Amino acid sequence: MATNEELKARRSRAKAMVLRKSSAGSAVPAVMFAIVIGVLVASTLFLHFDHIWWFPPAITPVGHQIDHQFLLTFIVTGIVFVLAQLTLAWMVFRYRDQGHKAHFVRGSHVLEVAWTTITLVIFVSLGVMAAHAWGEVHFGGPAPGALQVEVTGVQFQWNFRYPGPDGKFGRIVPADIDASVGNPLGLDPNDPEGKLNIVTPSLYLPVNRPIVLMIRSQDVIHSFFVRELRIKQDAVPGLVIPVHFTVNKIGTYEITCNQLCGLGHYHMHAFLHVLSQADFAQWEKKQWASLSTQ
């Protein structure tokens, strides 16, 4: 039961709320603001549903998994976005200046806890669901018969190294690194295993064969990124970071560097050429043939 004093206090608060100011403000700012929010929501929805700025189709099975996960996250956060913005528009309109005296609202602990918990549950579940696709690229382990290619970032270009016909990579000696004499990776000239290692500024991969890229850096942190692979992996000096995938579409795709790695960062890019298995075998043979005559 409320005491008399409490009832009195409530009555006077209620009275204060309906007390009108001498002049009610114009409704125009509130209406305009609500309309702007409405237009913003509508144009955002249009841009996304129409896929005006969308990424190119994925070319790996994992890429499709990532797209699926992305879409799920997008739908969930999209619904929250639309609801929140429309509520904001409605609130701005509903509680516009109608001449009422403003009054203090203390907020609600129940509501605070509720929406924090809901947000936490949504984000943690999305994260757990996405872990599978991410784990497959990074921890899946190379399939037997996978093609290993070493990817090395250096200010400001990418170099790719393939093993010789024996499947072996030769030793690397940092003191031998010298792009001006055609040895950008520092292959040890005395190591027979490195003799037929192919080093190219473009990445050639066979279609439908498991690939392992071993990503390295010679100087600062770079980032290997191919949109169509849906793979973005930092190249960190001192580490060899493997990523696994299988490409299922022949074509040419751009490889970019995605870490601001210095003044030439903007032009640090290369191309990924996905070839049929026969074309790839032929390319490899040709490279080995020219290396063995050197």
Sheet containing strand 210-217, strands side by side: 198-200, 157-162, 147-154, 210-217, 241-246
Strand partners for 148: 212
Distance of alpha carbon 245 from alpha carbon 211, whole angstroms: 5
Q: Binding of ligand CUA at residue 257 (CB under 6 A)?
A: yes
List the x/- string, 123-162, binding to ligand CUA by CB under 6 A. ------------------------------x--x------
The rounded distance, in Å, linking the Cα atoms of 142 and 207 is 16
CB of 242 to ligand CUA, least distance (A): 19
Q: In terms of CB distance, is 196 or 257 closer to ligand CUA?
A: 257
Task: For residue 26, give the amino acid letter.
Answer: S
> Are the beta carbons of 257 and 223 closer than 8 angstroms?
yes
Residue count (the chain): 294
Say whether residue 268 binds ligand CUA (CB under 6 A): yes
State the angle between helix axes of 61-94 and 28-49 in degrees (0 to 180), rounded to the nearest 10.
Answer: 170
Taking the complex as a whole, the smallest distance from the CB of residue 267 to ligand CUA amounts, in Å, to 9
Judged by CB under 6 A, does residue 222 bind ligand CUA?
yes
Which residue, 222 or 244, is less far from ligand CUA as judged by CB?
Answer: 222
b/e map 126-160, b = 16+ CB within 10 Å: eeeebeebeebbeebeeeeebbbbbbbbbbbbbbb
In this complex, which beta carbon is closest to ligand CUA, that of residue 144 or of residue 238? 238
Q: Least distance to ligand CUA from the beta carbon of 254, Å?
A: 14
Question: Least distance (Å) from ligand CUA to the CB of residue 163?
Answer: 25
- Under DSSP, is residue 127 helix (H, G, I), strand (E, B) or coil? helix
**Cross-strand partners of 281:** none
Find the binder of ligand CUA among 261, 270, 272, 275 (CB under 6 A). Answer: 261
147, 265, 272, 287: which one binds ligand CUA (CB under 6 A): 265
Nearer residue to ligand CUA within complex by CB, 68 or 269 = 269
Binding positions for ligand CUA, rule: CB under 6 A: 153, 156, 222, 257, 259-261, 265, 268
